[in-house]
Structure 1
Amino acid sequence: MSLNALLFDLDGTLVDSDALHIQAFRAVAAEHGVSFDADFFARHMSGHTNAQICLSLFPDLSAAEHERIADEKEALFRRLLEGASLAIPGVVPLVEWALDRGMSVGVVSNAPPANVRAVVQSLGLAGKFAVEICGGSVPRGKPDPMPYRVALERLGVPGERAVAFEDTPLGIRAAVGAGIATVGLTTTQPEENLLAAGALLAVKTYEDQRLTAFLAERLSMAS
């Protein structure tokens, strides 16, 4: 077994963006007289699809209203993202390291396509990802394994030859369910939650030497 692909979640994994998402969601929620705290965000919003989040925040509104609110929130998030420097330390060098070794890299996220494009552009990585699985591009989002399975299929890489990076238990369960060795980022959740969800390793940044050793071991394993 060797290493052929690295797959990244978006928010909390490529970029430390939760503060901007919270700011944007609070702004649109306030227009409807709704507020939430950090605990609610962690339990009902982080890692969830916009449809799930809007159902939690606005249970009495229609699906059409949920979609409109989500679109408004994401547009505000992208405006807030402009000029921000949110890269998780070491992520850009890691992507370049993988590409230099002939690996494929991809994004697998519940975020809408416009957000994925904006974040990737902000990192200077436009055109680097061989596959981008976004919210709505597959019938079922995380925590279902489908987004990761579709990414693997499009890359032509079996799960055992990939490594995924996630920052939430929901995302980790999706990647592990697709048969992918997964590393947790402690951007939004404590290490114990990530390991309990199935992560093999939990790190704060991509500069952690334990991650370097983990990837070197995966890369050197005989096929």
Structure 2
Amino acid sequence: MTDPAAAAPLTDEAVEVEVVRSETPFVGRVWNIRRDEVAYNGASIVREYMDHTGAVAVFALDENDRVLLIKQYRHPVRLRDWEIPAGLLDIGGESPLVAAQRELAEEADLVAASWHVLGEFMTSPGGSDETIRIYLARDLRAAEETFAREAEEADIEVRWVPLDEVVDAVLARRVQNPSLVVGALAAHASRARDWATLAPGDAPWPRRSRSIGEDGSGHAR
């Protein structure tokens, strides 16, 4: 007998649960650690997770199907890893698209005339509420203004790499930055479908991370 649910499109299910108690045992410079007591399946469970503001990333592709990559030091993993431009959604009231445009200009001194949503993902749903939206940026040109960079960004290395070579590096496990991995595989698959999977740059983002310190309704705790 066929399961009726099996015929429906494959999609994650949003669930509203009762949060009995919530506290913030650690407050950091960029994000916090939250501890929630939740009523679920007739039991009370406690879960700790990173309370994250969310982020955007930019998969910039030129007319020759080359991807803009940047190499940057990441202290937790002790690597200068290959990435795509990305940044936090930490400016109140700023739209994700505007944030992505800002990050491309600040990290790569580029602007793009064409913007589409390429993909979205949750970085670690068992331990963080962070979501990232990846934009496909095309019709690129140099920005009129360049930006001073400091700390980890001071020695950013920039390289243009053919999309197929980036996918090869992902599949060979030579590069492992999640935004780069997801973006490269999504772009490779979308290109094979004549980019029919893309969404407008200002498409709604219902699963976007809530602001730090807010509950699911957008109210401060």
> Could you say which TM-score interval applies, normalised by the shorter chain?
under 0.3
Q: Of the two structures, which has the highest relative contact order with CA contacts closer than 8 Å and spacing of 6 or more?
A: 1
Structure having the larger proportion of residues in helix: 1
Structure having the larger proportion of residues in strand: 2
TM-score, normalised relative to structure 2: 0.27
Larger Cα-atom Rg: 2
TM-score, normalised relative to structure 1: 0.27
